[in-house]
Amino acid sequence: MGKQGQIKVTKENLLQWIKNYHWMVATIEEARKPVAKVDNNSYNGAKIAMYGIEATLPNASGGTSDSVFIEVQRRLYINNKRIQEYESKVAEVQKRIPLVKGDRELEILHRLLDGDSMRAIGKHMSLSSTTLFRVRNNILSQMMK
C-alpha cells in the first residue's frame, strides 16, 4: 500500500489480485455480515474474577486491564485494516475489467475471478497451456492500459 490507502498497480500485483479475487470477495462479504456490537464499555467475553483483597479495591480509571477486551480491540483493528486493503484491491480489478476486449479474454478473466485454475479453464475451453498463458498475459496487458 502506498500513501493514504493508494496501492501500486503493477502487472505482477494485478495478476496476484486476480488469482486472489475470489477469496478476497468472500472474506469481504463475511466481514460485512452483522455481528454483535462491540464498544468500549461492554462486550460479550470472559470476565476475570477477583477474590480477596483485590475484590475490594477500586478499578483503575481511564482504561481497562482486561486482556480479553484488549485482544478483541486488537483483532478488530487488524481485521478492519485488512478488509480495507482487500476492498481496494478488488475495486482496482473491477475498475479494469471493462478494458478487456474479446470474448475469449473475457471468459478466461471471469473464470479466473471465479477462482478456477488455469488447468480447469484450459480443459473447459479446449486450450493448450501455452495458449492459455498467452491469453492471460494479453488480458493483463489490456488491464494495465
Q: What is the pLDDT of residues 79-115, one digit of tens each?
A: 888 899 999 999 999 999 999 999 999 999 999 999 9
What does pTM read for this prediction? 0.69
Is the model more confident about 37 or about 127?
Answer: 127
Angle, alpha carbons 127-107-135 (nearest 5°):
50
Q: Would you state the cell numbers that stand for residue 101, as one nine-digit string?
A: 476486449
Which of the 8 DSSP states describes residue 3? G
Angle, alpha carbons 43-78-91 (nearest 5°):
120
Which of the 8 DSSP states describes residue 115? T
* Per-residue pLDDT, 113: 97
- Binning pLDDT at 50, 70 and 90, where does residue 122 land? very high
Cβ atoms of 134 and 125 within 8 Å: the answer is no
The pLDDT tens digits of the residues spanning 14-48 come to 999 999 999 999 988 988 887 555 455 544 555 55
